[in-house]
Structures are given as C-alpha cells and as structure tokens.
Amino acid sequence: MLRSFVVVHSRRPALHPLAALLLAAALHPQPLEAQAAAPPRVRLVATGGTISNRAGGRLTAQQLLESIPDLQRYVAPEAEQFANTASSALTLEQWLQLSRRLNLLFRSDPGLAGLVVTSGTDTLEELAYFLDLTVRDARPVVVVGSMRNASALGYEGAANLLEAFRVAAEPASRGKGTLVVLNDEINAAREVTKTDALRLHTFQSRGVGVLGVVDADRVIYYRDVVRRRGADSEFDVDAIAALPRVDVLLVYQGASGDLIRAAVDAGAKGIVIAVAGAGATSGTQDEGLEYALKKGCVVVMSTRTGGGRVAAGRRQAGAAAPPPFSRLLAAEDLAPLKSRVLLMLALATTQDPAAIQRMFLEY
C-alpha cells in the first residue's frame, strides 16, 4: 500500500549577517583563551627622582607615561603623582604614607595587575625593601628609576619605565614581592644594591644574581625569592604611627665608642653596627655597645663587606665578651642599610629581642 508523505517547508525571514554572527556566538561561545583579552591595568605612582628630572623642571607622572613608546601594546596604563622630589628628600613619614597608599590601591581595586613606583636611585634600594616588607599583596610592586635625567643624552628613563610596566603586568611576577627593574634586569628588593655612582649597570644583586631579565619578546625569570615578603609580611603600616629612630654606625680601625653612646643619648631605639668581617669591632666600640645594650637599645650586627653573613650568637660565644653582648642580634646576610629598614619596622611592632632576631632570620 502506497503512503504519501507531505513535507512542509516553513519560510523564515533571513537573518542579517551581523545578527547571524551574534546569534552563533551566543549559542556557541568561544573559550576564554580564544577571546581577545583586555590589556592588564597597571598604575604608575610617581615620587620623583632623576627619572623625572629635566632642564627647567620635573616631569609629572602623566608626562612620564606619555614619554613611553608603545606602552598601550602591553598594558592599560594609569598614573598618579605621590611626590616629585629627590629620593633622599622623602621622609620616613612619606614612606609610611606611600605604603598605605599602595596597600589601599590593591585592596580597593581587585582588577589592578600591578604597580610601578618611580624613585631616585640614591636611596631606591632602601625604599624598595621597605615596600617589600609593608605592601601586603601578592601582586607586584616594581620600583624603577634612571641614572640619567630626561635632558641628558642617552636618557634611559622611558626604556626602564616600559620594562617596569611589562614586569608589573607579567603574571609570573606575582608573589615575588617588590621588584627593582633597570637596565633590562629584574632584581629582588631585598638583595639589590647600588654598586656604582654613575654607570647604568649600577643595580646588582651580589652573590645571588638577577631574578630575571626583560627581553624584547618576553619577561624571563631564572629563580625565585625565598625570604618572607609582600603578602606574607607581618608588618601592618596602618598600625604604625611613626618609625622609631635607628642609626647605622661603621666599624673602622681605631673607631670610638663615643659615637654609639651619642646615638643612644640622642634617642636611637636601635643601632645597626656595620661590622668588619663576620662580627669584628675596633677601638672602644665594645664599650659603646655595652652602654647601648644596658640602656635598652637594640643592636644588630651587619657585615660591611657587601657579602656573607653574620651568624646569630657569634659574639656571645667568645669567653672575653662582656655579659650584655649576649643580647646582640645578627642581621644574617642583610646589608646594613636594609637592616636599618627591617629594624625600624621590627621596633615599631615589638621590643622583644628574640622576636626581632626571628624577623632577621625570616625576612
């Protein structure tokens, strides 16, 4: 028996090509990695320094942004002016204010990929380490400067800034704390130091080397940071009203202990003594140290050599050491300038020598 089938064709109006594409995209969404991602947002917080210097005045944060070629290829940049002065002119109160500002930016803006901070190079390593200890977020803070001013032939500021922005936007930079970027190199804030008064390659991490480099094609890391820093730090700047006075005094042949006594009498709560070798003093400095310890001043020994470490407990092991020397603390391999930064924060948090020694072992 034959059966007949009737096929009914329904006619719908044809979709406009653009509407068809939109409908297809909605019905069959592409994976996130296939979609064009917006460039990461990175904010510049400018404090001044040689990188902002030029004949007739200083470059503002916005002018610094405008000087960077091809920046929008890598990031969506933002800028704000915190200060515009030499790094050595920034006060400790401004350090606290800057750290509070950076912490606030991270807390209030989850979409921010990282921060770039300009600084004069003379005290850049100190500011960078302070931020490393006090900006408590996994996202990177990148401190950058230049050795030549914007009016000088061969000004490298724009190149350093571009690299700093790229490092701040790089996902692999997360969790490494505060970084210092100059001259195509990435160094950890704790380890880096200025090694030359004039040359472009001045910032180096003696003994351990660079963390990574910034090349034309990508940012490359070779190693990681192992000390406590950034998001793991216990130092809360919102709870610190002011940083206590800590002085750095140098050991040299025939040095007098009077300078140590003077620092204590002038109100120093802590002293970093830059010792010879792994713990040697000279002249009458031991008498000055004994005076300081009996007055309740916290004394930390850090080597002046630029490398190696001062081990905890070294001085009290000697049979001739006076009893107060059992309270001398050791900086481990932390340089004198950075030992001062850590000791200021430690003393703003606790007066317990054992707790402070623990901090020098961990940070």
Residues forming the active site: 50
What's the CA gap between 359 and 207, in Å, rounded?
A: 22
User: What is the DSSP pairing of strand 298-303 with strand 329-330?
Assistant: parallel
Strand partners, 43: 78, 115
Q: Contact 220/212 with Cβ under 8 angstroms?
A: yes
Please give the helix or strand (H or E) that residue 182 lies within, else none: strand 178-182
Burial class (CB in 10 A: 0-12, 13-18, 19+), 324: middle
- Residue 4 exposed, middle or buried by CB count within 10 Å (0-12, 13-18, 19+): exposed
The SS3 assignment for 77 reads strand
Local structure of residue 157 (DSSP, 8 states):
H
Quick one: angle between helices 336-347 and 353-362, nearest 10? 130
